[in-house]
Structure 1
Amino acid sequence: MNDTLTIPTPDASADKAAWGHLLFGFIALYAGYPLGGGIFRYAMLPYVMYLVFRCDARYLPALVLHCCSETMILPVIYVSMGALSCFRYRQIRQAGAHRILLVLLLLAPIFVRTVVQRYLLTLDLNVSLISVIYYLSFFCIGYGVLIARNMSYRILDACIFVIATITLVSYMGVAVRLSMVGGAICINYCLYTLFSRRPLGPLWLLCTATAVATVLMANESTFTVIGTCIFSMALMYFYRHNHFRVIKTLTGLLPFLGIFLLMNYAINNYQRYGDNFDNVEGSYTDFSDLSGLSDRARFKLFGDRAPYWAGAWDDIRDADNPVPPLIVPEVTATMQDGREIDVTFGGHNTYLELLRQFGWLCGGLLILLFMRAMIVGRRILTVPHLPNQLSILLCSAFAFNLIISLSGTAFMGSASVIALTLVGCAWSLQHYLLKNPAQDD
């Protein structure tokens, strides 16, 4: 197995165009979308659709920037990816990923009906599309399958550069939802280049600054960022040392079973653990004192997540919707001390949110698609000597998807365009590099 991807050498004019789109993406993200208002966003719709339909990996970094606007641009990009996947169905079938696309298309009439109903209720197309954004983001997998064979070192470096820049700027006050996956990618990049003794250039310095910011931010925020970084670094370590069996265990069916068992235990037993954790609530994010780490971890699970999970599960059980309901109610969480609070940010769990927002039938099918894409795609990490940048991105994406699916929402808009697209790339590459049809282990 070669340690490079077999791709045609891009011509100079195409490279210049890609860098031009990338520069314009930065300008649009930090000036156009905040200052241009609705007129600018509507004017950008045909442009971002053009970037998608070019079906060229060189435009992925620019698309990441446009997705970070978190405006109506985001669902339009995802819908365009879905349309492109249909037009290129033969290529997706050749990669063995056509069953995922077929299930998504089978569900499409249900979600179109949902968008229409919610538009008639709100008269706001943007709100109606955003309400099904989790479903639309699944089409990133098909897009990743299509662009995988066009990847190159230059494109992978551009992806890391964009993610590092956005993540660093987000810590300076410009909020985007890429910081968790971005922090993991930057830390892995720094460690990889440092220990492999590569020449240290500007990209390494940028990623180093971002990695330091990530650690500092994690010290003041949640276990989720730290957990994503640690898990991604563990995958990187095992990959570098060819422990492929360990990687298959950590990224296969077993972690999903562990997630579901942990959710079940926490939902049914969280009220046994303290009366709102008064002794650790004020300091659970302070990592300077590791002596109380177990108490803070216990709080994070039973005090800060399980009540929301239990409230979301009650909604799912009481509603018993097989398809997306017209109106999704807020979660009502019962805390350890008996207080009931209304939660505006959902159930803090990907699987529960898919079931709560889309019903047990549609949501359940999407959960199975997510699991299948992850389990099949991760087989690429059993191929030795992948390009360093690719292994960095893939380990970080798989870690992000697994950790955030338990502790938050993996399909977080702008994060999905990189995390799920990389899963699609992994699916396609493992199919071609391993020379056999993709199958679940």
Structure 2
Amino acid sequence: MMAHAELEAQIDRWRSYVQRSQAISAADVDELEDHLREQIAERKATGLDDEEAFLVAIRRLGNLDAVSREFAREHSDRLWKQLVLLPETRDDDGGTPPWRELAVVLALAVGAGIAVKVGFSLIENENVFARNLGLLVFPFLTGYFAWKRRLTLAVLSALAIPFAVLAVVVNVYPFSPGGSTEWLAVLHAPVILWMLAGLAYVGGRWQSDSRRMDFVRFTGEFAIYYTLLALGGAVLIGLTLGAFSLIGTDFEPVLAEWILPFAVPGALVVAAWLVEAKQNVVENIAPVLTRIFTPLTILMLLALLGVLAASGGLVNVDRELLILMDAILILVLALLLYSISARNSLARPGLSDGLQLLLVGAALAVDAVMLTAMLTRIAEFGLSPNKIAALGLNVLLLVHLVRADWLTIGFIRGRRPFGQLEDWQTRYLPVYGAWAAVVVVVFPPVFSFT
């Protein structure tokens, strides 16, 4: 029998699912949830348990609203599928015209470009500029979420305080120019900023599992849209460079000094808006992408294991190879998260779940080999900021993947609901943000800012 907490989790997932449809306003979702709870209470009064009452209520709710009827039809066999979303762009209250949101987005995108351009002009040291690049863009990306979600003063304060602390740390710490701790700060500061952006995205409701999963889904879709914008921009720039070169005009100074400083940060805001406005486009291809790339990634990981086995000793493993494999493991984690976020949460275990289990198992094997190689190198050559940071990240990945593997096995064997695997992913995410904060704030003074 489903516990009361699990019933609330199911309702929370249902609400998050319905909210993703641009055809339903926030007020409509509230009304639908009220009807759903009434139906559940009536069914429980007849002797049904929580799970049975929830499923029957979903079917009965289909008689109250056309959208909910479609939802009930799709989910009556406990297989939640993607809703067909409408292409129109509407704000949550249904009152903001699309052109107004577009104007806000374009203004914020231009503002991000101006901030980067001015920052690049005023900050002569390239390393200092690299440390501040994320700080220059973050307020504009978060500004869009603040406008979209109508963030309260409490949430804005929760964002401003860590942002200010991070800005002070990366600018006041006496980093050695080009030192390890400086570049670790450059690499990890964006992780902290992205976590803060997530707090803005969920409207401050970071304790909600479904809202955190929404942010995971947003991150995957954001990466796809930003990549598409980058590829399209690269083609356009290449054609423009070719045309100007044929007429004897040097276009590269304009590209380097004006177009790229505005296009790269501005595209971040535009990509975020595209995810909000056109979620249905990516959601329809998300399951396809995960099904294609999961087996390909498994083959890549198995090939990497073969490379490591043939390397002739863990201490001789190239440092650059270890860094590259860290990046690959992060990519695997991103694929795992996106695959879980795109999955029908009430569907029965299938082939895709078996492939996901194999993916996690292969990633665990690679991570174990990497941890052994890192510990061997530390024993041979001693400690350094880079080695400790990489070791810590791999330990975090190991814990994440081991637990995910265990929950996946339980789900496939029918002993655990898929929701537990889903919740584990989102509840573990803040750990990465905390580790990034440790690397940025604690590592520099511990290692004498070298």
Do the structures match in fold with TM over 0.5?
no
- Which structure ranks higher in relative contact order (CA pairs < 8 Å, sequence separation ≥ 6)? 1
Give the TM-score range, shorter chain.
0.3 to 0.5
Task: Please report the TM-score for the alignment, with normalisation by the length of structure 2.
Answer: 0.33
State which structure, 1 or 2, has the greater radius of gyration over its C-alpha atoms: 2
Q: Which structure has the highest helix share of the two?
A: 2
TM-score, normalised by the number of residues in structure 1: 0.33
